[in-house]
Amino acid sequence: MSIKNLIKIILSLIHNIFEYCYSFGDRDHDKKHMKTINVTFCNYSTLTNSRFSLFYFSFFICSFFIIFFFCNNSFAQKSDTLSFKKYPFINEKLNIIENDSNSIRIFYQKLYDLQQLKSGRVDIVHIGDSHIQADHFSGTIRQKLQLKFGNAGRGLLFPYHIAKSNEPGSFKTSSNRSWDSKRNVFYEKPLPIGVCGFTIETTDSIATINLLVKDQPGLGYSFTKFVLFQEKGECNFDITVCDEINCEKGIIKSNDISTHSFISELKFDKPISQIILRNKISDSIYQQATRIYGMLLENDSSGVLYNMIGVNGAEYKHYLKSKYFMEQLSYLNADLIIISLGTNEGYAAGFDKILFSRIIDTLITNIKIASPNASILLTTPADSFRKSRKGRVKNPNMNLARVTIINYCLQHNLPYWDLYEIMGGYGSMAKWFNAQLSAKDRVHFNGKGYQIQGELFYQALINGYFDYCSPPN
């Protein structure tokens, strides 16, 4: 309920009480309609002796609730997240978006316009490695933002299971056939890579893909628009799209390149949560394969569309070597691009901070060309351990990667979020492990650990947004 509507209801209540108090001239008649009002700690039976007293008492109670609502709403705005007191090693004082430049303020303004107008959409893309692919970290941010600003859809996804990789729990994919697959880490393999950092391909004319999207707490992810990132041309199969009861919803013509060289769009009359993609031969001479780069699910609602791009083992350079990544990224028309990479560079032996900085610069430059309207925000990698002859030991390279990312952001006026220091700094992964928030390798986190990271990032982002909306006098 909006503040405006609440005030209207309370004022209407006061008015009705006022009308009641003055509509009866007979005090005995009033007494028949009024009972003694007993409130804890006080006895207000004497209030029934006067119609004026009832009015003032009611006015006082209603005023109290108005003040309580405003105070509570103001408090909730600044405490829109969980408390982390259970984990004293987390440095909440450092949990801010640093180097809060004009770039991120443009994004905040778009969020503000969305919140005020209750129309339109804000698109976010989160690029990363294995910390992102499981979608615990990014999924928490998606849920929090969509609950606050509106749910515009599940966003970008990839059939990871069909590519023989781990898949987020928020959707499920399966196929009746085995597909060839590739992720961008193995860039020497022949399949080109698109927007998701993965590619799957089949030459089987009867292959299918079954996609089921699951609702999340407070959020429904049925969709009315389906976008397929695919290879187009006369050598590719057409694709029939059916719903869960096998009713045909549309046909994707793979030789239709009139709208976009990689994009096919289908719109549905009603929201659906499950589709089946079936290869279809329209020309038996030329059609030989289906190659898929990703899928995008949207609905007709205003709000936030949060797209996750995560690849196990990925580094900055791997996205640079992905042939169609930039071209397909531009279709997402991002308002904010979050980049969470650096763990795999820091884990490898022989870390070169100068080379690392150059690769970061090249990727950011290309992203700015592909997505000129996007604000770009970098996150530092988490503290972690690595294997040695003595077992698992602290990895000082992660701090080198962190410092390199921060220096780059300062030099190029980009905002950043310093996860490394927020989680506790050098060696803090041991504390996360002891608190049962990380995996045994002490490089990755478990679901709870990633959820906490997502909560922390959301808190930093939303506090930055609140500060933007409430500038100092």
What pLDDT does residue 66 have?
A: 46
What pLDDT does residue 18 have?
A: 45
What pLDDT does residue 72 have?
A: 43
pLDDT tens digits for range 229-257: 999 999 999 999 999 999 999 999 998 87
What pLDDT does residue 70 have?
A: 41
Average pLDDT over residues 79-92: 80
What pLDDT does residue 75 have?
A: 38
Going by pLDDT thresholds of 50, 70 and 90, the confidence category of residue 10 is low
Residue 347 has pLDDT above 60, yes or no: yes
pLDDT tens digits for range 23-79: 444 444 444 343 333 333 334 344 344 444 544 445 445 544 444 444 444 434 444
What pLDDT does residue 284 have?
A: 72
Does the domain made of 80-152+302-473 have the CATH classification 3.40.50.970? no
Cα dihedral: 283, 284, 286, 290 (round 10): 90
Mean pLDDT for all residues in the chain: 87
What pLDDT does residue 391 have?
A: 87
Lowest mean pLDDT among 64-73, 268-277, 386-395: 64-73
What pLDDT does residue 12 have?
A: 56
What pLDDT does residue 64 have?
A: 47
Lowest mean pLDDT among 22-31, 60-69, 86-95, 345-354: 22-31
Average pLDDT over residues 175-192: 95
Strand partners, 265: 227
Residue 406 has pLDDT above 90, yes or no: yes
Taking the domains of the chain in order of start, what are their residue ranges? 3-78, 80-152+302-473, 157-300
What pLDDT does residue 260 have?
A: 84
Residue 351 has pLDDT above 80, yes or no: yes
pTM for the complete prediction? 0.84
Going by pLDDT thresholds of 50, 70 and 90, the confidence category of residue 82 is low
Q: Categorise residue 392: left if φ over 0, alpha if ψ from -120 to 50, beta otherwise.
A: beta
Reported CATH class of domain 157-300 = mainly beta
Residue 390 has pLDDT above 50, yes or no: yes
Going by pLDDT thresholds of 50, 70 and 90, the confidence category of residue 154 is very high
Going by pLDDT thresholds of 50, 70 and 90, the confidence category of residue 349 is confident
What pLDDT does residue 433 have?
A: 98
Lowest mean pLDDT among 52-56, 187-191, 290-294, 452-456: 52-56
Higher pLDDT, 160 or 51: 160
